[in-house]
Amino acid sequence: MLKRLVLVIALSVPVTSMVSASTSHAADAIPEYTELLRDCSVAVTGEPCYVTEAGRDDLNVATFPECVGAVTNYCYIATVDDQPAPSSLKFVVRLTSWKTHDPTEKNAQYGFNINAFYVPPSRTFETFSYFDWGRKPQDQSATGGLVDLSAILLKTSKIKVEIRYKTSKMPQYSVVVADQGKMDFSLSGQDLVTVIEGHPARVALESDAQHINFDTEKSDDTSLLWTNRCGIPSMQFVVCNVTTAESAPLVFYARSSTFVNSPAADVPGPIWVSTNATYFHFPSLSNRQLEIKTTAPHFLPDGTTLNTGSFTAFLPNKLLEQWGITKTEAGLNSSLAASIKKADVETVVERSFVISDLGATIVFPSIGYSSPVVKVTAVTGNGSQSANQVYSQLLAGAKVGSNTVTTTTVPAANSSSKTVKKGSSTFLVALIKTVGKGFPTWKATGLCKIRLGKLVAPTKAATCTLTLTQAKYKTTPKRTKKITVKVK
C-alpha cells in the first residue's frame, strides 16, 4: 500500500472551481532580479547576485547574503533564541525564476528556498549547494555543511530568519519544515519581508538506497509497489514504504512559490503550512479545497518509537472570504474539520485555531506517519453543530441540511454501558457506533457534555446516559441506541 498523508481543506457543498480555467494571462509584473542584481561572476563577496543554471536558460537563481552594511535587500537576517545566529549556522537562501516571461506556461513561477546547515571548522560552507523539492534532506557535500543541526541547536532552540527581496505580490503557497513553524509576510510597495520561525524539526530519513529519485524514477503508475522505498515519484502522489528510518536529524528549511500566470496566479496568498514530513507536495487548491500530500517512515531509527508529525495550516483573509468563512472562533469551528483516514476508515480528530489580523492558523493533532490519508475538511456547521460534528455525520453516510429525513416512529431503545475516565474526552462514535446512512443525532444527560463530536466527562465520578438516534433512511428504519456511561 502506498504510504501517504493527504490533508484537505474543503467545503461540503459541491461548487464550481473558485479559479477560472480561462485563457492564461500574465499577472502584475514582478521586479526582475536579473536586472537589479549583478551576475555572480562579477559580484563581490557579500553581495547578492544571480547565476543562470547550466543548460537552463529559462532558470535563473539569485543567492542572498546576510543583510550587512549597505546590503539591505535580497538578503537575510538570522537569529537563534533572539540572539545573532552562531557563525557555524549558515543558510542557503535562493530565489529562482522559471519561464516567468512565457504567458502560456501555467506553472511559470518564482520560487524561494531556504536551507539551514551546520558548518564546523573542518568543513566549508557552499553558497549554492542545497536540497530542493523532492530531494532527500542531505549534507551539502563530503566537505560542505551538514544538514543535521543537533550539534549546535536543541529541539527547543528558536530559529528566526527574516528575508528581504522585491516582488509585486505575496507567494501563493509556502511550506516550512519546522516544529511549531510559522511564516509572516509583509508587502510594502514592492518590498517583501518574509519572516520564518520555529524550532528545528526531527525529520525521519530513509537510506540513500531507499530514496526514490524523482529525476530518474518518476512515474504516475499507482500499481508500482515501491517496496521499501520513500520519496516523490509523481506529482500525483508521494510514497514511503520504509518501516524504520535510517536517521532522524534536526533540520530547518522552507520553500514557497509565486505563480505569474492565471489561473494559478489568481489564488490569494499567502497560504502556508508547517510540517515535519520527510516529503510533501506543495498545497494545491481547487473547488474550495486545499490539499497537502505528505509522507515519512513509520518508525524512528530505534525501530520502536513511532514517527509522529506536527502540522499547521494558515489561510489568509482573502481565501476565507472566498470560502464564505467568518474569521471568528465560532465561524471557524462551524466551518473547518479535521480527520485521519486509515485502512479506509476515516475518523474525525480535534483541531484548534489561532486568529490573527492576516488570517487564521489551523493547528492539527499529532499525526502518526504510517499509511493514513489525513484530511482537513471545511464543512458548514448545521445550527449549533461544529464542522467536526457535521463531518462525522457525513462520514457515517448521513445527509445533512435540507436532505435530512425525520420520523416520529421510535422503536424500543437498545441499552448497554461503557466506562470512561474522569475529565476525559471520547469520540461519540467510539461509544456508540453508527449503523447505515441514517442521520445521527446525539444527546447526553447527567454531568457529561457533548462538544466537538466528543463526550466530555466531568472531573468527578458520575453516571451519564448517551443516546444516538439515527433517522430512517430509505428502507432502513429509524434506530435509537442508549448507553449508560460510568465516569470513574
Q: What is the domain-level CATH number for residue 439? A: 2.60.40.3010
Average pLDDT of adjacent 10-residue blocks, the chain of 488 residues: 50 32 45 90 93 73 94 96 97 91 89 96 94 88 97 97 93 94 93 96 96 93 92 90 96 94 90 93 75 88 92 92 89 82 72 92 82 67 76 72 32 64 86 75 86 84 89 76 92
In a domain, residue 225? The reply is no
Residues 261 and 284 in one domain: no
Cβ contacts of residue 150 below 8 Å, gap of 6+? 200, 249, 250
In the chain, the number of structural domains is 3
Residues facing 363 on adjacent strands: 312, 352
Q: How many CB atoms lie within 10 A of CB 389?
A: 27
At residue 332, the 3 state secondary structure works out as helix
Residues 174 and 320 in one domain: no
Residues 120 and 176 in one domain: yes
Q: How many CB atoms lie within 10 A of CB 184?
A: 15
| Distance, CA of 83 to CA of 291 (rounded, Å) | 36
| Distance, CA of 409 to CA of 176 (rounded, Å) | 54
In a domain, residue 235? The reply is no
pLDDT of residue 13: 32
Range of 383's domain?
Answer: 1-19+278-395
In a domain, residue 343? The reply is yes
| Distance, CA of 217 to CA of 238 (rounded, Å) | 13
* Residue labelled with grid coordinates 563577496: 45
Residues 464 and 325 in one domain: no
| Distance, CA of 67 to CA of 87 (rounded, Å) | 14
Where a domain ends, among 358, 377, 395? 395
Q: How many CB atoms lie within 10 A of CB 449?
A: 13
Cis peptide bond N-terminal to 270, omega within 30: yes
Residues 80 and 202 in one domain: yes
In a domain, residue 410? The reply is yes
In a domain, residue 160? The reply is yes
Residues facing 10 on adjacent strands: 289
In a domain, residue 216? The reply is no
Residues 11 and 47 in one domain: no
Residues 148 and 67 in one domain: yes
Nearest by Cα to 447 from 432, 457, 438: 457
Where a domain ends, among 370, 395, 420? 395
Residues 323 and 379 in one domain: yes
C-alpha cell at 254: 522552507
Residues 113 and 180 in one domain: yes
| Distance, CA of 188 to CA of 108 (rounded, Å) | 24
At residue 216, the 3 state secondary structure works out as helix
pLDDT of residue 12: 37
DSSP state for residue 373 in the 8-state scheme? E
Where a domain ends, among 356, 373, 395? 395
| Distance, CA of 475 to CA of 407 (rounded, Å) | 13
* Residue labelled with grid coordinates 494558515: 314
| Distance, CA of 240 to CA of 294 (rounded, Å) | 9
CA atoms within 13 A on the CB side of 93: 25
Cβ contacts of residue 431 below 8 Å, gap of 6+? 418, 420, 455, 466, 483, 485
| Distance, CA of 465 to CA of 398 (rounded, Å) | 23
C-alpha cell at 418: 461503557
Nearest by Cα to 297 from 314, 311, 309, 289: 309
Q: How many CB atoms lie within 10 A of CB 160?
A: 15
Using CB atoms within 10 A of its CB, is residue 224 exposed (0-12), middle (13-18) or buried (19+)? middle
Specify whether the CB–CB gap between 180 and 150 falls below 8 A. Answer: no
Residues 92 and 189 in one domain: yes
Phi, psi (rounded to 5 degrees) for 389: -65, -45
Residues 192 and 253 in one domain: yes
Q: How many CB atoms lie within 10 A of CB 420?
A: 20
∠168-169-175 over CA atoms, to 5°? 135
pLDDT of residue 54: 65
Secondary structure percentages of the chain, helix, strand, coil, to 5:
10, 40, 50
Residues 172 and 90 in one domain: yes
In a domain, residue 221? The reply is no
Cis peptide bond N-terminal to 297, omega within 30: no
In a domain, residue 272? The reply is no
pTM of the model: 0.75
pLDDT of residue 350: 86
Distance from the Cα of residue 101 to its chain's centroid: 30
| Distance, CA of 32 to CA of 167 (rounded, Å) | 8
